[in-house]
Every structure is written in C-alpha cells, then in structure tokens.
Structure 1
Amino acid sequence: MLRLALTGAGGFLGWHVRVLLRALCWPEPVALTRADLADPARVAAKVSGVDRVLHLAGVNRADDPSEVAAGNVRLAVALAAGLRAAPVPPAGVVYANSVQAGNGSPYGDGKAAAAAILADAGYDFHDVRLPNLYGEHGRPFYNSVVATFCRVLADGGRPEVLEDRELRLVHATDAAARLVGAPGGGSWDADMPAWRTSVRELAEVLTGYAALYRTGQLPALTDRHRLRLFNTYRSHCFPSHFPIPLPRHADRRGELVEAVKVHAGGGQTFCSTSYPGQTRGEHFHLTKVERFTVVRGSAEISLRRFGGDEVVRFRVSGREPVAVDMPTMWVHKIVNTGSDELMTLFWANEIFDPATPDTYPEPVEVVPHLAAVPA
C-alpha cells in the first residue's frame, strides 16, 4: 500500500488511477494541480514524504504546435523544482510517457524532453511509455478516437473513417495498474495487454454495439477488450439513454417481459426481494456489466460517478418494467420506496467469483473528500 501524489489527477488517466486506488483500498492520493506546479514550495510541501509521485499531466494539443512541446517541458521543469525542494523526498517518480516520445513531432519531442528533465531530478525514475489509451469517460475529439466514435454513436451519428491505420489500444485501468504498481489478481493487468485493431474495425465494432444497445440488447462480449470497449461506449450513453423500455407481450394468460437479450456469452441472472426501506448495492464495478429490472413493487435506483458529487436517480416500478444498466466506475444502489416487498431481477455478464468479485464498497450519497479533483 503506497501513498501517492499525482499531477493530472482530474484528467482522463488521472481519474482512472484514482478509481483503481480506491478499488485497491490505498490512501487517497495527493493531487498536484496546475496552480500547485506554478509554485515549487507548494509542490515541495505536498510531495514531502509520499512514496511515489506520478506525473500524468501533459499537453496533448494546442493551436500552436510548438506550445505542445513547450507545455510538456514546462510542467516537467516545475515538478522537478518542487521535488528537489521537498523536505522529505519521495522514494520515486513515475512518468506517464508516450510511445511517441522522440518521434520528431512536437508532442513526441516534448514528452521525450520532459522525461529527460525528470530523470535528471535525482530520484528513482520510471519512464512508462504508454500506447493509445481508451476507457470510460474519455474526452471526445481529444483523448482518443475511441472516445470520439463513442460520442458520435451515442448522439445518433455514424463515425467517419478519414484514414485507416493500425491501432494498439490499452485500457486506462491497465495503464493505471502499471503506473501505480498494482498487485495482480484483480480486474486489471499491469502488463497492459493491447488490442491490435484498425480505425475501420474499431468503427465497425462500435457501430454494431450501438445498433444493438439502442434496443436494450447486449452484444457478444467475447474477450476482455470487447467487454471494456462496450463499457467505454456505455459510459457515453449514461444517463441520457436510460431507463430502457423493455418489450412486453400480453395475452389472456398475462404478460411476458423480455428483460435480457445477450447475443453470445454466459453470465448470471438472479432475483432478490427487499423489504420496504431496504437498500442493496452501495458499491461500484470496474468491468462488470450489470442490469437492474424491477418486476414487482417500486424503487429508486441511484448512481454517482466516482469522484463526482451529482447523483442520478431513476424511479422505477414493476407496473412498467424497464432496464437500468449500471455503468462501470459508477457507485450505485437500489432502495425499496414502496410499502410492499420489492422484487428485482439482476443480470451480470459474468458468474460471481468470490475470489475476484469486482465489487468495491462505496456510498452513493456525496462524501466531501470525493469531490472532483481540479485539473
């Protein structure tokens, strides 16, 4: 269990690092903001005594290409100055570098120069070169083509492939595991297994996911990258696409509701009852796809994105069954709001394994220290 300090804690990769740290039950990391980096004394005070500093902040794009290189260098210089002034120096520094470092582009040259500056700061230095990252809540038209395609499809459009090329994609949680030195045995892999695909194939896979998911159907989640890619797409659909109306069929005998349609793969379905006022949940998942459908009684389903303070609420009833899918890395719960027993049908894409449950306790209602970290 390490005590960490992060630059870029409010960014895409920084958010995934913070989620993983909570799943690991490690201490809340110290966040170094851009304002902190402007003052070496503030940096020194914040990093003093931590086990490791993770430098995730960077400049990916700018109107002036030269500013991309200069911005990455400035951040490294500021961090190095603060590190040297720390009363109790951190044990090590980990840099979220890029496989593009030193490739002759402003971005690649800036990342390479930043690595050299941090390496010269005199600490145990780890230069982690990351490929293209994807994952939940990436910023469209900025973080990756995956986020862009997901956003376009979630908005009802079609992704446009202007230039096909090979892609090597790594999920942000796996990158976070490498950066923090997470132990094995969880829903992450610090070896950062990559999905080798192309821009065109990526567009085709995501387009297929979107077509099925608009109807509430679930695609074939045949491997870890297909599952994570689907979870990434789902993050762009929530909460505006929910709840999902379910097909209902009635005849003289009664009604039939199609709760789950999965195109391949197994999973687990279970049914629970809850007495009035009782709560189930108060946890989040890193990879698991989970669907709630109330079939009798009334309930409120509440969700909060990790690190945020806004709670999304759905009032649902067995009189009109709907599906609400839990997005990964969102804390969730269901409460019986009626006066009678609540019956809920749950479906998950995997059979529950007590050894690796992918279930991390966390309250839905806002806790002050979980407020979003500024960039």
Structure 2
Amino acid sequence: MLRLAVTGAGGFLGWHVRVLLRALGWPAPGVITRADLADPEAVAAKVSGVDRVLHLAGVNRGEPASVAAGNIQLAVQLAEGLRQAAVPPGSVVFANSVQAGNGTPYGDSKATAAGILADSGLPVDDVLLPNLYGEHGRPHYNSAVATFCRLLAEGGRPEVHADRELSLVHVADAASRLIGMPAGGSWDPTMPALRIGVKDLADGLTGFAATYRTGELPPLLNRHDVRLFNTYRSHCFPAHYPLALPTRSDNRGALVETVKAHGGAGQTFCSTTRPGITRGEHFHLAKVERFVVLRGSAEISLRRVGDSEVLRFPVSGDQPVVIDMPTMWAHNITNTGVDELLTLFWTNELFDPARPDTWPEPVELSPATPVPVPA
C-alpha cells in the first residue's frame, strides 16, 4: 500500500485515480494544488517521504502558446519542490501523452516537461497516454466520447465532419497503470485500446442512446461496450431517472417488463427487506446494476464518490420504475414502508466472488469524515 501525492487531483484523470485508490482501500493521496505548485516549500512538504508522486496536472486546451507555457511551468514548479523535499519521494509518475514530441505546441511541451522532471534526479516513469474516455468526462474538452455522450443525453445527435481512427483507453485502466496496480479487478494496467473510427463511435453511442431511452439495455458484448455504455449513462444521471415501466393489467393481475437486454451476459435476482432496513452501501467501478421495486415502498440514495451531495429517489411497487446505479456512485436502498419490500436486481455480469466489483462505501458521510475538494 503506497503513499502517494498527486497533482491534478481535481481533474478527469485525477478523480478516477482517487476513486480507484478508494476502492482499493489505500490512503487518500496528498493533493498538490495549483496554489501549492507556486510555492516550492509547500510542494516539498507534501512530497517529502511519499513513495510516488503522480504528476497529472496539465494544460490541454487554449491558445497554443498558453498550452505550451502552462505544461512547462507546471513541470518546473513541481521539479523545484521535489529538489527541496527533506526526504525525496521514491519516484515520479508523469501522465504524458502519445503526442509528446509531435511538433505541436502541446506535444512538444509535454516532451519538454518529461525532461524537466527527469532532471530532478528522481526516477521518472514517463507514461504515454492515448485518448482517454470514461465516466464524467468534460464534453468539448476531455474526449469526443464525452462530447457525443452529452449531445445524446440532451436529445441531440453527433455530427461527424471528418472521420479518422481513434485509439481509446478507459480512464480507469490508465489510473491503474499510473498507481502501479497489477491486473485483477475491472481495471487493466496494460491499457487495452479500442480502435474505432469517429463515425462508428458516434453511430454506436447513438444506438446505445436510442435503445436505452426506452429503458431497454443495448448489447453489452465486451468490456469496451460496457464502459462506453457506462460513460453514456454518466451523462444521463440524474436527470433521466427514474425510467418509467409500463404496467399491463387485466383480471388475472399485472405484468411489468423489468429487464429487456439486447445481448451480453446478465444475472437477475430478488431480495426481500424488512421495514427500516438498508441494503447496499457500496459502489461499482464497471458493473451495470438495475433496481426495480416490485412491492412496498423504498428510498434509493446515491452519492458520487468524492462528493458530499446525496441524491434520493422515492420508489414504490405500486408504480414500478427503473433506477440504474451509475458506476462510481455509492448507493443504497432503504425500506421506508411498514411491510416487507420486494426488489428485483439485474446486473450485466454473473457474480464472481473472486472479482465482485463491489466496494464498500457509505452513502451518508459522517461529519467526522468530510470529503476533500481538490483544487
């Protein structure tokens, strides 16, 4: 279990690194803010004695000259703090780019930054990252995936003006590579890439959205299908939930179609819950999980890992609805009625006790455990 310090902890990659560390039960990393980087003594204090410093902060968008200057300045500031550390950290891991040294202001500044960190005298793991995608990416900033997902979630449709092949890596795989985790969970530090054309990507996500808009589940035939679908769902939550389920009734009773999956693995199970009892209190990194209350009344509560706001959905078996748990959100369900609660659950994968992808995390945070907000 390593002690880490991280720059860029509040960014897209930084958040996923912190979520993975949370799942693994590692100590929360020391956060080196932009304000800290302007003060070498503050950096030195935060990196002294740690096992590994992850340099994730960078400038990806803006005027070319500002992008170049920004990436170089961040590396210079960090390197100066590293040199002043009373106990030098064990190593530095640099979230570099496959574009490093490609002749553009961004690529050349990333290559220069790698050299500056190497001159600090510490071992540097220079990780060349391709295009990253994943849950809660910023549209028009982090990736085309985030942009397409947000457009579709808002009822629009992606437009592709120039098709080209992309090499996409899920951000959790990149996070596992940066912190040095071996394969073994839902992550893969070898960073397997999805090679796909922009048009095929747009068409695939559009198909996901069209199917899911009805409450049905699109084909989830491989790990990239699952992760792209989870990325799309992250842009739908919470505005698109709950998803209504039509009920067909006659003199025999009622019928509700709770899960219509168009392909891939899956497991369905039911549970009963006594009044006042809560189930859950965990999150998933990749698993798709569906809740449908069939009898009784309940409250489903969710909190994004690393945030403090709790979202609540009152649900009832009298009007069954779907709430699909977004990945990396802690969630639970509480029986709020006076009778036994009957709930149907569906997941996109068979339960594997050796790799359950179920990570303990309370939805409600106690006052003694405030959530830090990286800057």
Partner in structure 2 of residue 290 of structure 1: 289
- By how many angstroms is 1:373 displaced? 2.8
Partner in structure 1 of residue 61 of structure 2: 61
Q: Is the 8 A contact 1:178 1:192 kept in 2?
A: yes
Question: Where does 1:270-285 land on structure 2 (aligned, <5 Å)?
Answer: 270-285=269-284
Per-residue displacement from partner, 1:138-197 (whole Å, max 9, x unpaired)?
A: 000000000000000000000011211110000000000100001221110000000000
SS in 1 for 2:28: coil
Instruction: Determine if the alignment matches structure 1 residue 358 to structure 2 residue 357.
Output: yes
Q: Which amino acid aligns with 2:12?
A: F
| Residues 231/124 of structure 1: CA separation in 2 closer, same or farther (3 Å cut) | same
Aligned-partner Cα distance in 2 for 1:42–1:124:
21
Unaligned runs of 5+ in 1: none
SS in 1 for 2:87: coil
SS in 2 for 1:167: strand
SS in 2 for 1:217: coil
Partner in structure 1 of residue 120 of structure 2: 121
Q: State the Cα RMSD in Å.
A: 0.9
Aligned-partner Cα distance in 2 for 1:373–1:89:
26
Question: Where does 1:131-170 land on structure 2 (aligned, <5 Å)?
Answer: 131-170=130-169
SS in 2 for 1:115: helix
Partner in structure 1 of residue 45 of structure 2: 45
Aligned-partner Cα distance in 1 for 2:246–2:125:
53
Q: Is the 8 A contact 1:31 1:373 kept in 2?
A: no
- By how many angstroms is 1:370 displaced? 5.4
- By how many angstroms is 1:25 displaced? 1.1
| Residues 233/367 of structure 1: CA separation in 2 closer, same or farther (3 Å cut) | farther
Partner in structure 2 of residue 230 of structure 1: 229
Instruction: Determine if the alignment matches structure 1 residue 332 to structure 2 residue 331.
Output: yes
Aligned-partner Cα distance in 2 for 1:247–1:188:
37
Q: Is the 8 A contact 1:307 1:370 kept in 2?
A: no
- By how many angstroms is 1:372 displaced? 4.9
Aligned-partner Cα distance in 1 for 2:33–2:298:
40
Aligned-partner Cα distance in 1 for 2:335–2:179:
39
Instruction: Between 363-372 and 43-52, report the one with greater CA deviation.
Output: 363-372
Aligned-partner Cα distance in 2 for 1:116–1:49:
23
Instruction: Determine if the alignment matches structure 1 residue 96 to structure 2 residue 95.
Output: yes
- By how many angstroms is 1:220 displaced? 0.6
Per-residue displacement from partner, 1:78-100 (whole Å, max 9, x unpaired)?
A: 00000000111100000000000
Q: Is the 8 A contact 1:9 1:373 kept in 2?
A: no
Aligned-partner Cα distance in 2 for 1:190–1:308:
26
Q: Which amino acid aligns with 1:83?
A: L
Partner in structure 2 of residue 219 of structure 1: 218
- By how many angstroms is 1:277 displaced? 0.5
Per-residue displacement from partner, 1:46-78 (whole Å, max 9, x unpaired)?
A: 11111000000000011x210100000000000
Partner in structure 2 of residue 242 of structure 1: 241
- By how many angstroms is 1:283 displaced? 0.2
TM-score by length of 1: 0.99
Q: Is the 8 A contact 1:40 1:85 kept in 2?
A: yes
- By how many angstroms is 1:137 displaced? 0.2
- By how many angstroms is 1:24 displaced? 1.2
Aligned-partner Cα distance in 2 for 1:212–1:184:
32
| Residues 370/208 of structure 1: CA separation in 2 closer, same or farther (3 Å cut) | farther
Following superposition, which runs of at least 4 residues in structure 1 exceed 3 angstroms of deviation? Answer: 367-370
Partner in structure 2 of residue 71 of structure 1: 70
SS in 1 for 2:79: helix
Aligned-partner Cα distance in 2 for 1:91–1:374:
23
Aligned-partner Cα distance in 2 for 1:367–1:118:
39
Aligned-partner Cα distance in 1 for 2:42–2:360:
33
Partner in structure 1 of residue 265 of structure 2: 266
Instruction: Between 17-26 and 201-210, report the one with greater CA deviation.
Output: 17-26
TM-score by length of 2: 0.99
Aligned-partner Cα distance in 1 for 2:92–2:203:
40
- By how many angstroms is 1:22 displaced? 1.1
| Residues 169/44 of structure 1: CA separation in 2 closer, same or farther (3 Å cut) | same
- By how many angstroms is 1:247 displaced? 2.1
Partner in structure 2 of residue 371 of structure 1: 371
Percent identical pairs in the alignment equals 72
Partner in structure 2 of residue 20 of structure 1: 20
Partner in structure 1 of residue 195 of structure 2: 196
Aligned-partner Cα distance in 2 for 1:96–1:90:
17
SS in 2 for 1:351: coil
